[in-house]
Amino acid sequence: MIKEFKPNDNFEEMTKKGVFIFDFSATWCGPCKMLHPVFEEVSNKLSEYNFISVDVDECPLLSAKFNIRAVPTLIVIVDGQVKKETAGYMDEESLEKFIQSAI
């Protein structure tokens, strides 16, 4: 299940403990639209982790914090620490491997 990050959410408090996969995307982005169902499927498979969707247009401060220059950008955070980051579309198997390699 994917949770949507909202501008008033407290990022530091949210990511203090646990595994978080952030998908920085935009509604106007073609590759983001292609990635969304893959992200959803992987979130169902790896339900022990927190999957968070961030609209870069709605959350410019968080996007700036991570210097997001391309969408989609995926960032894995474990116990408050960024472990891995990548940009662009990936298929289900590649996304699972990306997440597992960061943990």
| Residues involved in catalysis | 29, 32
> Distance between CA 4 and CA 54 in Å, rounded?
6
Sequence-distant (6+) residues with CB within 8 A of 26 are: 32, 55, 56, 57, 71
Phi and psi dihedrals of 39, rounded to 5? -60, -40
Element (H, E) at 91: none
Instruction: Decide if 73 contacts 81 (C-beta within 8 A).
Output: no
